[in-house]
Amino acid sequence: MGIAELSGKIQTVLGVIDPDEVGMTLPHEHLICDGSAWFNEPSRAFEKEMAHQPVCVENLWWIRYHWFQNLDDLQLLDEKETIREVERFKAAGGRSIVEMSNTGLGRNPEALVRISQATGLNIIMGSGYYFAASMPADFHRFAEEEITNEIVRDITLGVDHTGIRAGLIGEIGCSWPLDPREKKSLKAAVRAQQLTGANLNVHPGQDEEAAMEIVQLLEEWGADLTRTTIDHVDRAVRVPENRIELARKGVFLEYDLFGREGYYPRHVRLIDLPTDHQRINEVIELIDAGFLNQILVSQDIWNKHQRVAYGGWGYDHISRNTVPAMLAKGMTRDQIQTIMVENPKKALTFL
């Protein structure tokens, strides 16, 4: 698939589609994923035992407050389970899912093809590298041009020798402070964006300054900020003025942690998470400020305990629970349509 042929199209794991076919879209999810790079071994003997148990009803009480400390919880590897879970989203009117598991998160193109064929959902696959801890041991030896060429090949020819092509660049992982390897990865991704016209999706580090630092670097390197998405706004950008400043840069602001409420346990830093109602309030603030066309919403399901099979909220949570709350808070159906259909369509369409 040549770059020129992608212009004006959206590329799924089964091939290109017209943008109008994308429908209701979850722009940031994980279907087949290995997040073990996040695993943080607890120090206490009791918790060490919990860390290596399979997820079950008896240990959910602990896992729900130890997001990165149960190894099984960080692995979504069962295709049949994934099919059952995403069919709930399809039953709620969903049409498309963006699968953000790239290199470092256990990307599995063949599995995504089988899931798409089994469900009839459009699946758009990511490309590039996740954060430093998940990178290959010899990544420091990779030249920036090599990384760019790899991303371009993923999009135009397919991942490895599968012929299954990526439809966007991301999620490009960044830490705080930004690791030199991540900076190289990010810069290479910008060049790939310039060459392909694909959307660039960036995972910022866990600090209030991280997202703006990234945007400033992207701007310096010549990225198209109107074709760039900043992930995890609901844990990364907690100061209202900073969200407005980011939006003024032209990027998409992605609220992709719907369903996660309370605090965000992390061995490095404790992050206060908004509730879903607070997320909706912040979305409304952005709409009132004139940024309706730059908002994306999703759930970023990448732990077992977020899935319905394990007592979680599932991939249909936004459709089932959040949309009624949005309407109750005064958002219009047209605004919701813009956020859940038109904005993902615009973000995913190649220039």
Q: Locate the domains of the chain by residue range.
A: 3-348
Alpha helices of 92-225 — where are they, by DSSP H?
A: 109-119, 144-156, 180-196, 210-221
Torsions phi, psi for 208 (to 5 deg): -60, -30
Q: Is pLDDT at 212 greater than 70 in this prediction?
A: yes
Between CA 57 and CA 13 the distance in angstroms is 34
Backbone angles phi, psi at 217, to 5 degrees: -65, -45
CATH, domain range 3-348: 3.20.20.140
What angle separates helix 240-248 from helix 210-221, to the nearest 10 degrees?
10
Split at pLDDT 50, 70, 90, the class of 271 is: confident
User: pLDDT, tens digit, for every residue of 131-174?
Assistant: 999 999 999 999 999 999 999 999 999 999 999 999 999 999 99
The mean pLDDT value for 13-29 works out to 98
The CA angle 77-153-149, to the nearest 5 degrees, is 115
pLDDT at residue number 4: 86
**pLDDT grade, residue 90 (50/70/90)?**
very high
Average of per-residue pLDDT across 98-125? 98
Angle at 303 between CA 179 and CA 63, to 5 degrees: 105
What whole-number distance in Å separates Cα of residue 289 and Cα of residue 295?
A: 12
Strand, helix or coil at 34? strand
Q: Please compute the mean of the pLDDT values over residues 15-36 and round it to a whole number.
A: 98
pLDDT of residue 67: 87
pLDDT of residue 266: 55
| Preceding peptide of 171 cis, ω within 30° | yes
Structure tokens at 336: 């919701």
pLDDT given for residue 332 in this prediction: 98
pLDDT value for 89: 98
Res. 262: pLDDT tops 80: no
Does the pLDDT of residue 268 top 60, yes or no?
Answer: no
pLDDT at 18 over 70: yes
Q: What pLDDT sits at residue 265?
A: 62
Distance, CA of 32 to CA of 4 (rounded, Å): 30
This model's pTM is above 0.85:
yes
User: CA 258 to CA 187: how far, in whole Å?
Assistant: 29
- Helix (H) / strand (E) element for 124: namely strand 122-125
Query: What is the percent of the chain with per-residue pLDDT over 70, rounded to a whole number?
Result: 98
Indicate if the pLDDT at residue 341 is higher than 60: yes
| 116 in Cβ contact with 124 (< 8 Å) | no
pLDDT at position 120, please? 98
Q: What is the mean pLDDT of the chain?
A: 96
What's residue 272's pLDDT?
79
Asked if 311 and 269 touch (Cβ cutoff 8 Å), the reply is no
pLDDT band for 264, please (50, 70, 90 cuts): low
**E strands within 237-344?**
252-255, 262-264, 271-273, 295-297
Residue located via tokens 């995504």: 112
